[in-house]
Amino acid sequence: MKGFRTPLIAGLLSGAALPAIAQEYVIDAGTLFDGNQLSENARIVVQDGRVIEVGTREEVDTPEGAEVIDYSQYFIMPQMIAGHSHVGTVQGMEHGGDVYSRETVERDLAQFARYGIAAVNALGMNRPLFHELRTEMRGPDYAEADLYGAGTGLGAPDGAPPADAMNTEEDQVNRPGSPEEARESVQEMSNMGVDMIKVWIDDMGDNVPKMAPDIYTAVFEEATAQGLLSAAHIHDYADARAAIEAGVNVIAHGVRDQEIDDELITLMAENGVWYIPTININESNYLYAEHPEWLEDDFFTMGASPELQEAIADEEWREKALEDVDEDRQAVAVNIENLRRIVEHGGVRVVLGTDSGATAVRIPGFAEHQELALMAEAGMDPLDILIASTSAGADMLRIDDLGRIEPGARAQFIVIDGDPSESITDTRSIVEVIRY
């Protein structure tokens, strides 16, 4: 059993390495968030990479010979689950399927891990290599974030994801022409090994053909028959509603064309639909051009590529990036309002997801922390945001030993100098990411 400890900001600056972790150790925490609730003066006992006991320091004894890590001044939480991302398709300022490789996938998973993310749901546009990597790049002996995902995903012929804009390769998206082909495609993916089935329904603002209802209905039915959850890329209210009525399990983007009503929220709640807002997807188109001062912030620069940092430093790039973003700002506002309505109504399971990794400005890991702040803007309680980013994401991906700190869970913790249950942006004050 290996032990991985990644010291963040302080370590990056000092270059200090931390000692490897012992087979058996105890962490004394100030405040513990276990994936569901908070407790004070907690003690976590870890053996061979798994949590074996959690409780207060009065309740739980330190096993004889165990190493003790005194983090009683810090907040400890499980590592997060990124519910909607992509891996291996960005190189510098470019994106496309031609850069998808073992190296670029692992580069992204390593970056997610540094930001305190335990597992990543690569929701489509994966190339065939994905199925091999999905077996290899997960589990207790793997040092980076665990790879989960949807394989290619299914789009309409000539539809989303737009092959030109996304530079997709032929083998990155399946585009079935009939319900029969759609069912076969889902069966094939299920046989090769996927964690979810993804469809793109959206017409990208009337720019590409929308997926036909008989095709996505066949996809959702076949996914269910194969024991898999299905997720839909939507933008509009009408598509979200039609997808839910056709049996989809996950709405993979927030509704952004109009404000949603109680009817849709009730429909999601009654059908147990997971909702992933991805507010940062539109915000990322202008956010970084607005914040050149972040080039001085280590938490940002450890994720932004050198090419992106160079672009942000260039005034001309910033001006151009901000030229045509009214629609994005509007989409962010509507997305936030819709999340606010969902939260106020209650009953819908919200999961952290950002669509990070799909383009150069959707920064793996950083985007996730940014999304937490956007969820707070929608009025979500910080504790509920922490749940959405840990145990809820694990439940959606059917992972029973991540996203929680409880007996049997893998020992994957974020050590924070602050209290994100009060102020969510404190998740950025990471002292250390511990795995195993």
For Zn ion, the closer of residues 88 and 179 by Cβ is 88
For Zn ion, the closer of residues 252 and 431 by Cβ is 252
Residue with the closest Cβ to Zn ion?
A: 355
Can you tell me which residue has the tokens 């305190």?
116
Structure tokens at 292: 């050149």
For Zn ion, the closer of residues 197 and 405 by Cβ is 197
For Zn ion, the closer of residues 239 and 355 by Cβ is 355
What one-letter code names the amino acid at 203?
D
Structure tokens at 69: 């890590």
Q: What angle do CA 74, 76, 81 make, to 5 degrees?
A: 145
C-alpha 309/C-alpha 298 separation (Å) is 12
Give the containing element (helix H, strand E) for 353.
none
> Which of these ranges, 7-15, 118-126, 341-349, 386-394, lies near Zn ion under the rule CB under 5 A?
118-126
174 three-state secondary structure: strand
Structure tokens at 71: 């983090």
- Candidates 355, 368, 371, 432: give the one binding Zn ion (CB under 5 A): 355
Binding to Zn ion (CB under 5 A) within 122-141 occurs at 123
Binding to Zn ion (CB under 5 A) within 295-334 occurs at none
> Which of these ranges, 34-42, 224-232, 287-295, 349-357, lies near Zn ion under the rule CB under 5 A?
349-357
C-alpha 43/C-alpha 55 separation (Å) is 6
Structure tokens at 264: 């849709």
Give me the least distance between CB of 310 and Zn ion, in Å please. Answer: 26
> Which of these ranges, 20-28, 121-129, 216-224, 411-419, lies near Zn ion under the rule CB under 5 A?
121-129
C-alpha 370/C-alpha 430 separation (Å) is 14
Structure tokens at 51: 């949590």
Q: Per rule CB under 5 A, is residue 371 in the interface with Zn ion?
A: no
> Which of these ranges, 22-30, 119-127, 301-309, 367-375, lies near Zn ion under the rule CB under 5 A?
119-127
> Which of these ranges, 136-144, 290-298, 353-361, 425-433, lies near Zn ion under the rule CB under 5 A?
353-361
For Zn ion, the closer of residues 123 and 223 by Cβ is 123
Q: By the 8 A CB rule, do 84 and 355 touch?
A: yes
Give me the least distance between CB of 330 and Zn ion, in Å please. Answer: 20
Give me the least distance between CB of 83 and Zn ion, in Å please. Answer: 10
Give me the least distance between CB of 166 and Zn ion, in Å please. Answer: 10
Q: By the 8 A CB rule, do 375 and 351 touch?
A: no
For Zn ion, the closer of residues 121 and 421 by Cβ is 121
> Which of these ranges, 90-98, 163-171, 300-308, 351-359, lies near Zn ion under the rule CB under 5 A?
351-359
- If you write DSSP's letter for every residue of 269-316 in order, what string do you get? HHTT-EE---THHHHTTTTTTT-GGGGG-HHHHTTS-HHHHHHHH-HH
For Zn ion, the closer of residues 275 and 413 by Cβ is 275
**Backbone Cα Rg of the chain:** 21
Give me the least distance between CB of 316 and Zn ion, in Å please. Answer: 29
Strand extents, DSSP E, 155-202: 196-200
Give me the least distance between CB of 25 and Zn ion, in Å please. Answer: 38
Residues that bind Zn ion (CB under 5 A): 123, 355
